[in-house]
């Protein structure tokens, strides 16, 4: 009975809140959809309240401006000045993932990024933008990406095959990195927090509280770590996006 | 205590698959393809709205604010350096004026001193002349007095000699003889 409540997987379950169908596709409004809407609403509210165009920024405006400069610097340094046309896209990715991760840290809130399909859609979005923009801008020159210059002829084919494989495995690593980190963190938190409850169930309040100190401390230590992971994974996702976009802009090695 | 934790973890590990089995054929939620369509649909919708809001409204606004501020700061810095230069020039001209004034004051003092000196000298000379004149007059008077006194001495001496001779000889010599004898 206790175990059912402590099931570390239960937190990832999708629950339908309102049925909705288009053709054969079930696009019901779920707890996941609700969190996505809350995420976008929270970002919009924050930016709406913090972008008052005042010359001397307040706290909220400072945070908005620091985020702006942070992503702009990252994109400029890895993709160059002409990469700035992708700035809204990279910023949207970063802030969406960051808010989704952070909102997921609130107890009883569903974490949208803990589902592989969500991270995969975002990663594939980046992947196809790179391919489409790369070909549209460079034409066949985009293929130079797979044909490194300055490599001796006898291994250039080998290197080229590696380049192709690494290019096509990008969306996989890109999406799994985020998803696995978020999901593993949430499972770990739930397992250690669950230990405390189970120990109380097994040894009573006094004995269980004493025995539960260790998993409690573990949960206590893991929580800030998970906040860090939430930020770092959003940052890494955005950084990799910048690097991939740089390939679309400058395919020559 | 550690044993208890290990025991509990084993129990949990045993319980988790059991719970999964109890729910029957529902797979691990992130891999449940029944829910892929809804997540993709809502993700694209919400992310699309977010992208639209950011690219059309929020990011241009933040960018504009930052740009306005940096240009304002640059302007202010320019103005500040210009004002500083002006202040430096003002200080320089002030110092120049001060030095001129000082030199002028020095000149005035010098000329005043010279004229005062000249006046003092003239007065001193005048006083000296007056004093020496007075001294001369006094000297003349003294000489006259002395001459007169000497003449008197001669007369007194002649008288005394006449009287002495008369007392000694009983004969009164003439004044002319006495005077001749005295000289």
pLDDT tens digit string along A50-105? Answer: 877 677 777 888 899 999 999 999 999 998 888 899 999 999 999 999 999 999 99
Note whether A14 contacts B15, CB cutoff 8 Å: no
In a 10 Å sphere around its CB, with 0-12 CB exposed, 13-18 middle and 19+ buried, how is residue A22 labelled? exposed
Chain B partners within 8 Å of A6 (Cβ) = 12, 15
Residues B1, A3: C-beta atoms closer than 8 Å: no
Mean pLDDT across chain A: 89
> Which chain A residue has the Cα nearest residue B17?
A7
Nearest CA in chain B to A19: B38
Distance CA B75, CA B56 (A): 29
- Determine the distance in angstroms separating the CA of B2 from the nearest CA of chain A, rounded to an integer: 8
Is B59 in contact with A39 (Cβ distance < 8 A)?
A: no
Q: CB-based contact (8 Å) between A84 and chain B?
A: no
Contact A121 B43 (CB under 8 A): yes
Stronger pLDDT, B6 or A70, i.e. the higher one: A70
Q: What is the share, in percent, of chain B residues with pLDDT greater than 70?
A: 86
Query: With an 8 Å Cβ cutoff, is A70 touching chain B?
Result: no
Question: What's the pLDDT at B23?
Answer: 46
Rounded to an integer, what distance in angstroms lies between the CA atom of residue B42 and that of residue A25?
A: 12
Helical H segments across A105-212, by residue range: 116-138, 153-211
Chain A residues with CB under 8 Å of B46 CB are 33, 36-37, 39-40
Kind plus residue range of the DSSP H or E element containing A245: helix A213-249
- pLDDT greater at residue A131 or residue B14: A131
Q: Is A3 on the interface with B (CB under 8 A)?
A: yes
Residue to mutate among A67, A86, A115, with most B CBs inside 10 A, is A115
**ipTM for the assembly:** 0.89
**A181: confidence class by pLDDT, cuts 50, 70, 90:** very high
Q: Do A3 and B19 touch (CB under 8 A)?
A: yes
Here the contacts of A14-21 (C-beta below 8 Å, separation 24 or greater) are A14/A115, A14/B29, A14/B32, A14/B35, A14/B38, A14/B39, A20/B38
Would you call A144 an interface residue with chain B, using a CB distance cutoff of 8 Å? no
Q: Are B37 and A19 in contact (CB under 8 A)?
A: no
A177 Cβ partners below 8 Å, 6+ apart? A233, A236, A237
- The answer to whether residues A195 and B8 touch, using CB atoms and an 8 Å cutoff, is yes
Q: Can you tell me the mean pLDDT for A13-31?
A: 85
**Neighboring chain B residues of A96 at a CB cutoff of 8 Å:** 47, 50
Q: Which residue of chain B comes nearest to A207, CA vs CA?
A: B1
Render pLDDT for A104-148 as a digit per residue (tens, 0 to 9): 999 889 999 999 999 999 999 999 999 999 999 988 888 888 888
Put simply, the answer to whether A25 touches B41 (Cβ < 8 Å) is yes
Q: How many residues does chain A have?
A: 253
- B62 interaction partners in chain A (CB closer than 8 Å): 47, 51, 64-65, 68
| Pair of tokens at residue B127 | 């006083």
> In sequence order, what are the residues at sequence separation of 6 or more whose Cβ sits closer than 8 angstroms to the Cβ of residue B115?
none
Specify the pTM: 0.71
């Amino acid at each position: 009975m206790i175990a059912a409540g402590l099931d570390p997987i239960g937190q990832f379950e999708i629950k339908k809140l309102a049925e909705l169908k288009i053709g054969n596709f079930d696009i019901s409004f779920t707890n996941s959809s609700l969190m996505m809407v809350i995420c976008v609403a929270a970002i919009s509210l924050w930016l709406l309240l913090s972008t008052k165009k005042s010359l001397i920024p307040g706290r909220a405006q400072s945070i908005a401006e620091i985020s702006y400069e942070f992503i702009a610097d990252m994109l400029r340094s890895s993709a160059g000045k002409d990469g700035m046309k992708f700035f809204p896209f990279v910023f949207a990715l970063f802030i969406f993932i960051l808010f989704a991760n952070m909102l997921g840290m609130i107890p009883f809130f569903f974490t949208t990024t803990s589902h592989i399909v969500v991270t995969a859609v975002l990663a594939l979005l980046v992947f196809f933008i790179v391919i489409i923009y790369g070909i549209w801008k460079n034409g066949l020159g985009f293929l130079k990406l797979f044909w490194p210059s300055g490599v001796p002829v006898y291994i250039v084919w080998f290197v080229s095959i590696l380049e192709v494989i690494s290019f096509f495995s990008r969306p996989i690593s890109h999406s799994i990195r985020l998803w696995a980190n978020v999901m593993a963190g949430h499972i770990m938190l739930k397992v250690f927090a669950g230990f405390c409850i189970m120990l109380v169930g097994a040894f009573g309040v006094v004995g269980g509280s004493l025995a539960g100190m260790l998993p409690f401390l573990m949960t206590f230590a893991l929580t800030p770590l998970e906040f860090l992971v939430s930020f770092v994974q959003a940052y890494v996702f955005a950084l990799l996006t910048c690097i991939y976009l740089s390939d679309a802009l400058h395919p020559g090695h | 205590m550690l044993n208890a934790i290990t025991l509990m973890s084993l129990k949990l590990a045993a319980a988790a698959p059991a719970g999964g089995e109890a729910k029957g054929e529902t797979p691990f939620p992130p891999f449940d393809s029944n829910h892929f369509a809804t997540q993709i649909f809502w993700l694209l919708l919400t992310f699309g709205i977010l992208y639209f809001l950011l690219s059309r409204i929020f990011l241009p606004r933040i960018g504009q604010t930052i740009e306005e501020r940096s240009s304002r700061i640059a302007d202010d810095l320019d103005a500040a350096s210009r004002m500083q230069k002006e202040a430096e020039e003002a200080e320089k001209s002030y110092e120049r004026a001060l030095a001129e004034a000082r030199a002028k004051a020095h000149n005035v003092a010098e000329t005043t001193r010279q004229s005062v000196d000249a006046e003092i000298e003239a007065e001193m000379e005048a006083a000296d002349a007056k004093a020496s004149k007075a001294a001369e007059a006094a000297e003349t008077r003294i000489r006259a007095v002395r001459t007169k006194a000497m003449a008197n001495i001669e007369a007194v001496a002649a008288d005394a000699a006449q009287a002495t001779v008369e007392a000694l000889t009983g004969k009164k010599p003439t004044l002319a003889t006495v005077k001749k004898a005295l000289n």
